[in-house]
Amino acid sequence: MSMKEEVRAHLQKDLVPFWQKLEDPEYGGFYGYMAEDGTVDKKYEKGCILNSRILWFFSNAAMALEDQNLIKDAQCAYDFMKEKCMDKEYGGIFWSVTYDGKPLDTTKHIYNQAFAVYALSSYYKASGDKEALNLAFGLFDVIENKGFDEGGYKEALDRSFAPAENDKLSENGVMADRTMNTLLHVFEAYTELYLVSRDERVKNKLMWILDTFKNKIYNPKRHRQEVFFDNAMNSIIDLHSYGHDIETAWLLDRGLDALGDKELKAAFDPMIADLVAEVYKKAYYNNSMSNECEKGVDDTKRVWWVQGESVVGYYNEYEKHPEHEEYREAAENIWNFIKTYIISEKNHNEWYMHVDDKGNPEKGNPIVEPWKCPYHNGRMCMEMMRRLA
């Protein structure tokens, strides 16, 4: 089979059925945890980011596979989001709810609000349900009115939108006031919202975020993005996140394409090319991608989402610059690595969370949990279906 046929088959025959089987017929939504041995914990908390990503996945799978039956699966996630994940008292989306849909972690993280906008925009595109678009704009207003100040986008807020400690998106021993990761996924969400609405307010925010990436996130001297920041947008750790840089490269291009300004896209091309070239040089070996580098020390784990985003990121750069044949080869080689080592046959062909640089899986990691979802791998399949001849 060609790569295009392979990714379509993987999406249609593996990922879609796997996640369909996790629908919770009793309490709604989808079960939130599956252990390495395939055991489902039906009483595990339901992460609202996981639910948003599942809603995004089935909405887009319905369109990519031209299968309207998948709208029913998307609606399962949509109904659960609308009825259980949204805070009807203060607005916004909870971080998590109990297995039966009661508020559990009531943190209002801007990253989480963004993923709901992303999912609702896709569900509207797939289903035509105008209520979903209205809900997306309601969360857009929450982000802009509660989660944005003169310095940029905030991170963690409590249920009533007072500041809270950002432990959920901080790691590597720092506590960040602002992060590249939240900004990237607000941009991703607003791209989707703009594509389905062409709303000028959304367009203006996309332009603001692009400017921030270019002037505050991107470090031209180190050929990378900075990751964690204090409130004044000073970087607070020496960290190169290879996965986020390759993901950012193609997501920025997607947003630039949505805006439709060729001169603006050309202006960003050197920055994006620099990010891709640097991760190719530093992180790509053994036909796969290392995770990150902190203070000069590489974390060589092959994390599932980093591999998926790298396939798309390298191929996207090859499409723009076909003289860089090495990027096309990298995309193909990483897909072959994924097929050989990361897709887990014993777990219905979902992906291991991560393997080492030789392809050996680390024992004990779940197959499904609040961050382990069908979004990165499903999106890789859909993007490559669209891009490959």
CATH number, domain with residue 184: 1.50.10.10
d(CA 344, CA 372): 14
pLDDT at 259: 98
Range of the domain at 251: 3-387
- pLDDT band of residue 4 (cuts 50, 70, 90) is very high
pLDDT at 169: 92
Among 148-162, 224-238, 302-316, 337-351, the range scoring the smallest mean pLDDT is 337-351
**Over residues 79-93, mean pLDDT:** 98
pLDDT at 206: 98
The percent of residues above 90 in pLDDT, for the chain, comes to 97
Expressed in percent and rounded to 5, the helix, strand and coil fractions of the chain are: 55, 15, 30
DSSP designation for 338? I
Domain count, the chain: 1
Q: What is the pLDDT of residues 366-381, one digit of tens each?
A: 999 999 999 999 999 9
Task: Give the H or E element holding residue 18.
Answer: helix 16-20
The percent of residues above 70 in pLDDT, for the chain, comes to 100
- pLDDT band of residue 348 (cuts 50, 70, 90) is confident
Reduced to 3 states (helix: H, G, I; strand: E, B; else coil), residue 159 is: coil
Q: What is the pLDDT of residues 211-240, one digit of tens each?
A: 999 999 999 999 999 999 999 999 999 999
pLDDT at 173: 87
Of 278, 333, 376, 388, residue with least CA distance to 60: 376
pLDDT at 347: 80
Reduced to 3 states (helix: H, G, I; strand: E, B; else coil), residue 379 is: helix
